Amino acid sequence: MNRKTLVISALVILLAIGSFGLYLFINKQDENKVDPLEIFSFDRESVYRVDINCADGEFIAECIDGYWYMQNIEGFNISGDYYINLIYYMSELTATKIYGTANTAEEKAVYYLDEPITVTCYDEQNTYKIYVSSKPSPTYDVYYFMKEGSNNVYGVPSDRGSVLQASRAMIESVFMTRINESDIVKYTLIKDGKEAYTFERNPNNQFKVVGKYDGLQTNFPRTNTTIAMLTRQRRQGLLETKLTDMTKYGFDKPVAEVIISGEGGKTQHLLFSYYGDASTYTHVLDVETGLVGLFYTYDLDFIEDDVMRYLVDRVHNLDISKVSKIDINYHGEEISYDVDKEKGEYSLNGSRIDKLGKSAEEAIDGFLTGLEYLVYSSVDVDAVPSGDPDISIRITSNDSDDVYTLEFIPKDELNYYMLQNGEYAGRIVQEKNISNSPSFMYWHERIQRIINGEQ
């Protein structure tokens, strides 16, 4: 046998040995593999109650009409998402392997099960109970647990075990409100001990400004957004679970209060305090529970909102296409416009405007738009306007000869109380919104100059 043949034979033998070794290694690995051990398998939708007993106390929760409520602690704001996850993991609970058995307290202590957390799920037929270790394994890869009625000690991967290892911080919701957004029917902001304004849910499922502002048009997108914002506030820190000293964080003199009411007579009273450095966090007290949390200040700007933010600032819903005549008394000056928007024919005090060129067309469009979109800037529903109006407007409809009036009574040098059809609803209009650019009187002055040939 020559040298070349010997080398080839040696290589063949080494490859054969290597293949056999790999075969033995793979088979050894397969022997070490352990199929997951099924502990529970039940319909999670059928669970109506969950009991948890941990270092923070006992927590008994029940599912009513699809929502989870704490039964043994009044006013407890429960985390529905946590219970959904907990039940999900319980309903298909498997173990990585059996680590041994434990019968005595000493044996259980080896697996941190001498003072375990207990989790019990109930459906109509059965009870599913486990005992979970108070901390993970030394390698942090599993949590140990035992099943009721068995002395076996099982392991569950840490990602799932950390959910089963319940605590109050996990059970309790981090959201500010205890009433769900869909259940809120009323919202009241209180400033300096007095009601600032109130929203109520109307039959169209929108929040309307009510009470003394009921006669003003609500900006529904803004009221609805504020309710949504309120219910989405997440606590960034928990300071107290049962506050008794209202002076501790400045709640004896809160910067604002919010009271929300829900279906079935539920209420929640919140106090807001700019205690300490409020540039980052605002202290919020849930009055009924005594819980004090920290919330981002920039998310709570709604507690500083004036009622004007929630009102449509347009004076009226005037449709200028349905107007045939506009008569104005402006500080004693009589002004009369004839309007036919469909034909594009307009006149001022008998003089045709639409025949005077493009500048006149732009000016009459500006005048009509300025009147149609006249806005008010503030409200004072408690005021009692007196005296004669400095400005009055009569608007006649082209299809029914109905007359609609606006009157402006001086409040001060810069503002007017505005009356609609002789009624005062609280609107205050600034002089600049009547006479400055791009107001309707600004455009009227331009029309007058065009008619006079001044431009």
Just give the CATH number of 181-310: 2.60.40
β-strand partners of 25 = none
Six token digits for residue 407? 């009157």
What is the full DSSP assignment across 70-116? ESSSTT--B-HHHHHHHHHHHHT-EES-EEEE--SHHHHHHTT-SS-
- Position 289 scores a pLDDT of 86
Evaluate whether 178 touches 268 at the Cβ level (below 8 Å): yes
Q: Can you tell me the distance from the alpha carbon of 235 to that of 281, in angstroms, rounded to the nearest whole number? A: 10
- Position 455 scores a pLDDT of 67
Instruction: Fill in the amino acid letter for 335.
Output: I
- Position 32 scores a pLDDT of 37
Evaluate whether 428 touches 420 at the Cβ level (below 8 Å): no
Q: Is the backbone peptide bond immediately before 438 cis, with ω within 30 degrees of 0?
A: yes
Tens digits of pLDDT across the chain (455 residues) = 444 444 344 444 444 444 444 333 333 333 333 467 999 999 999 999 999 999 999 999 999 888 888 999 887 888 888 999 999 999 999 999 999 999 999 999 999 999 999 999 999 999 999 999 999 999 999 999 999 999 999 999 999 999 999 998 899 889 999 888 999 999 999 999 999 999 999 999 999 999 999 999 999 999 999 999 999 999 999 898 889 999 999 999 999 999 999 988 889 999 999 998 888 999 999 998 889 999 999 999 999 999 999 999 999 988 888 999 999 999 999 999 999 998 999 999 999 999 899 999 999 999 999 999 999 999 999 999 999 999 999 999 987 778 999 999 999 999 999 999 999 999 999 999 999 989 999 999 999 999 988 86
Q: Can you tell me the distance from the alpha carbon of 432 to that of 331, in angstroms, rounded to the nearest whole number? A: 15
Does 2.60.40.4250 match the CATH number of domain 37-171? yes
Give the domain ranges of the chain: 37-171, 181-310, 320-451
What order do you get walking across the sheet with 423-430 strand by strand? 351-352, 345-348, 333-340, 323-330, 391-397, 403-410, 415-420, 423-430, 378-379
Q: Whole-prediction pTM value?
A: 0.76
- Position 454 scores a pLDDT of 83
Q: Can you tell me the distance from the alpha carbon of 110 to that of 448, in angstroms, rounded to the nearest whole number? A: 96
Q: Can you tell me the distance from the alpha carbon of 38 to that of 407, in angstroms, rounded to the nearest whole number? A: 79
Q: Can you tell me the distance from the alpha carbon of 286 to that of 269, in angstroms, rounded to the nearest whole number? A: 6
Instruction: Fill in the amino acid letter for 53.
Output: N
* Domains 37-171 and 181-310 fall in the same CATH topology: yes
- Position 17 scores a pLDDT of 44
Identify the helix (H) or strand (E) that includes residue 281. strand 281-286
Q: Can you tell me the distance from the alpha carbon of 271 to that of 292, in angstroms, rounded to the nearest whole number? A: 9
What order do you get walking across the sheet with 57-64 strand by strand? 67-70, 57-64, 49-54, 117-122, 127-132, 142-147, 152-157, 98-101
CATH architecture of the domain with residue range 320-451: 2-Layer Sandwich (3.30)
Q: Can you tell me the distance from the alpha carbon of 26 to that of 63, in angstroms, rounded to the nearest whole number? A: 49
- Position 195 scores a pLDDT of 96
- Position 19 scores a pLDDT of 42
